[in-house]
Amino acid sequence: MAPTRLESAEKEVRAALGPALQRFGPDYWRQQDAAKTFPTEFFDVIGEAGYFGTFIPEAYGGADAGARVAAVLVEEINRAGGDAASVNAQMAICRTLVLHGSDAQKQRYLPGVASVDIRFLTEAATEPDSGANMSELSSTARRDGNGWVVNAGKVLISFAAHTRLMILLARAEEGTTLFLLDLDEADERVQMHPIDLVANRMTSSLFIDNLRLPDSARIGPAGEGLACLMQGFVIRRVLAASEAIGNARFLLDRSVEYAKTRKTFHQLIGVNQGIQYPLVQAYAKVEAADLMRWDVLELVDRGEDAVPRSAIAKVLASEAAWETARAALTTFGGWGLASDYHIERKLREGTVYVFNNLLMNLIADRALGLPKK
């Protein structure tokens, strides 16, 4: 609806994606959602198109196309009624390896991630008692000879049962430390139990009992795991914002289409300001969130601090998408609840983004300079 000023690279992404998105339309995603399955076919098509290497240097088999391409990609997938979560994960999780991994780690794994050979879909960070506080883990990594012995209990780990690689956070003597866990090499010492969620995130809890890992599985210096991980957060927030914007635009597209064609009482429902105004308010906020997202990427390009602003982009986008879902329910009435119309699915997927208190704290601190307790 709105003019979007994309550089040609991003325009190309949209054009290139078109056929895939047409092939895997909303009904494909409705079925994945209903069956709680991993969208393997779609995932492979996107991977074969080369997008998984978006953040991977060419030396390791990637395209190094950068965050704008990734942002367009996940937005477009969601805008077409899909769910970009798995693609987002495969593109972005590996950035920690790109930035902090050893050359041997990169050589071994990144080419496979860039192609569709190796799924690298998750970080095992959250713990039952940690909440979002990753600085106080009860999972431990103890040095043992020239390796490590890891004990961990993790929860809400997305795609855990569908990935080969994951990044594992554990507390070593030096502090939080990252490890690359190759599940092809793990045995029954790694246990998973599925956690059923409102959106199809294929989440599990994860228990690791005295697993030995070689020191070569460590990513970055011991004790600097959190710092390493946090370097990826700006891009992660931009991509989460992009997913939310894609969802919101799908909801807007559908709602506007419905409002322009559906009649009650002998007139199009879209003539009613009671339908129009919630859509307009939502639309205005989506457009604003969209600009903020690109603005963050400009800051990144210029090497400026984008941390607080990336938090703003995420907050604006998730709020805008939530408001859009509500406006869509108003537009569709009872049909908004029916899975055939995809509104309810996008509403459910939108729940993933709407708890942002930690980001609110970050903005208060970093953007406004308000005091902390």
Residues 310-349 that bind a copy of itself (CB under 8 A): 312, 315-316, 322, 326, 329-330, 332-340, 344, 347-348
Question: Which residue stretch of 10-18, 55-63, 234-242, 355-363 sits at the interface with a copy of itself (rule: CB under 8 A)?
Answer: 355-363
| Terminal-to-terminal C-alpha distance of the chain | 44
Residue 309, SS3 per DSSP: helix
C-alpha span between 108 and 267 (Å, rounded): 63
In contact, 267 and 261? CB cutoff 8 Å: no
Residue 47, SS3 per DSSP: helix
Structure tokens that stand for 28 in this block: 């494909």
In the region spanning residues 57 to 96, those forming contacts with a copy of itself, defined by CB under 8 A, are none
Pairing of strands 165-172, 120-124: parallel
C-alpha span between 64 and 237 (Å, rounded): 19
- Shortest Å, Cβ 108 to a copy of itself: 32
Residue 334, SS3 per DSSP: helix
Question: Which residue stretch of 73-81, 102-110, 211-219, 265-273 sits at the interface with a copy of itself (rule: CB under 8 A)?
Answer: 265-273
Give the residue with the Cβ less far from a copy of itself, 72 or 217: 72
- Shortest Å, Cβ 116 to a copy of itself: 28
Listed in sequence order, the residues at least 6 apart from 176 whose beta carbon sits closer than 8 Å to its beta carbon are 134, 135, 137, 169, 170, 223, 224, 225, 226
Give the residue with the Cβ less far from a copy of itself, 58 or 305: 305
Give the residue with the Cβ less far from a copy of itself, 46 or 363: 363
Per rule CB under 8 A, is residue 298 in the interface with a copy of itself? yes
Q: In which residue are the tokens 């190759």 written?
A: 182
Give the residue with the Cβ less far from a copy of itself, 19 or 333: 333
Give the residue with the Cβ less far from a copy of itself, 219 or 256: 256
Kindly calculate the radius of gyration of the chain based on its CA atoms and give it in whole angstroms: 21
In the region spanning residues 107 to 146, those forming contacts with a copy of itself, defined by CB under 8 A, are 126, 129-133, 136
Structure tokens that stand for 48 in this block: 């074969």
Nearest alpha carbon to residue 54 among 242, 216, 219: 242
Question: Which residue stretch of 63-71, 93-101, 226-234, 303-311 sits at the interface with a copy of itself (rule: CB under 8 A)?
Answer: 303-311
In the region spanning residues 175 to 234, those forming contacts with a copy of itself, defined by CB under 8 A, are 195-199, 201, 203
- Shortest Å, Cβ 333 to a copy of itself: 5
Measured CA angle at 186 (ends 190, 174), to 5 deg: 75
Per rule CB under 8 A, is residue 284 in the interface with a copy of itself? yes
Q: Report CA-CA distances (Å) from 46 to 24, 64, 198.
A: 11, 16, 25
C-alpha span between 286 and 249 (Å, rounded): 8
Question: Which residue stretch of 71-79, 108-116, 209-217, 283-291 sits at the interface with a copy of itself (rule: CB under 8 A)?
Answer: 283-291
- Shortest Å, Cβ 365 to a copy of itself: 9
Per rule CB under 8 A, is residue 245 in the interface with a copy of itself? no
Give the residue with the Cβ less far from a copy of itself, 113 or 206: 206
Half-sphere exposure for 154 (CA within 13 Å, toward CB): 29
User: Which residue of 63, 227, 268, 307 would you call a contact of a copy of itself, by CB under 8 A?
Assistant: 268
Residue window 29-58: x/- pattern of binding to a copy of itself, with contact defined by CB under 8 A: -----x------------------------
- Shortest Å, Cβ 32 to a copy of itself: 14
User: Which residue of 68, 95, 162, 285 would you call a contact of a copy of itself, by CB under 8 A?
Assistant: 285
